[in-house]
Amino acid sequence: MKKLFWIPAALLLLCISCKQDVLTNLSLREKMNAKISELTEMNELGTVEYKVTKVIKASDDAKWYQFGDRKILFQCTAILKAGVDLNKFDPSKIKVNEEEKSIMLTLPKAELLSFNLPPESAKMVYEKVAITRFDFSARERNLLLQQGEKEILDNVPTLGILQDAEKNAAAFFKSLLSQMGFESITIKFA
């Protein structure tokens, strides 16, 4: 019984060592092409996640025909994930110099990959309605939350999330390419 166990283990070890020999005999360009091919199968490379808390307030002050005010305050937390969409990656924008062990890799610009505003993250913090007025309806509350969502999305360029995503993607690719044997690595985004 013990002899049967060693035969498959020996074959597996032999296959792994043969594969390692094949990988070490590949040129830098071939190693890089194989790794880039694996990565592009992922479609997206999420490199940063932000949690953004937004306060949404509304004040429906009385008009000449109304008595009393209505005020409401919500707090909600959105989760934003940014990174590089590898579907937009163009392999022709890779420049390799094997003699100098240098590479210049141009990646697509970072973008917002997902936006999630879970309903349970929206909490009403304050509401004050005069006795002569109706409460805020479910429709009005939903419209306020949609307004808050739009404001978060409009502020994405000023949050720094896209810059952080590019910085992290560059660090990831520099580490990966240096492990493959490249000594001079330039990462650009276009």
What are the tens digits of pLDDT across the range 91-100?
888 898 888 9
CB 80 within 8 A of CB 74: no
Give the pLDDT confidence score for residue 10 in this predicted structure: 39
Q: Flag residues of the chain having pLDDT under 50.
A: 1-23
CA distance 142 to 122: 10
Domain housing 166: 27-189
| Secondary structure class of 159 (helix, strand, coil) | helix
Token couple for 69: 């005010």
CA atoms of 49 and 122, how far apart (whole Å): 19
Structure tokens at 143: 């419209």
Residue 142 lies in a domain: yes
Q: How many structural domains is the chain composed of?
A: 1
* pLDDT at residue number 24: 54
User: Within a domain: residue 141?
Assistant: yes
Is residue 110, in this structure, part of any structural domain at all?
yes
Establish if 9 belongs to a structural domain.
no
CA distance linking residue 28 with residue 97, whole number of Å:
9
Residues in the chain: 190
Inside any domain, residue 16? no
Instruction: Note whether residue 1 is domain-resident.
Output: no
CA distance 112 to 135: 36
Task: Give the burial class of 166: count Cβ atoms within 10 A of its Cβ; 0-12 exposed, 13-18 middle, 19 or more buried.
Answer: buried
Q: Name the 3-class secondary structure at 151.
A: helix
pLDDT for the residue 58: 87
pTM of the entire predicted model: 0.73
**Residue 156 belongs to some domain of the structure:** yes
Decide if 19 is inside a domain: no
Residue-level pLDDT at 67 = 78
Looking at residue 25, what is its pLDDT? 59
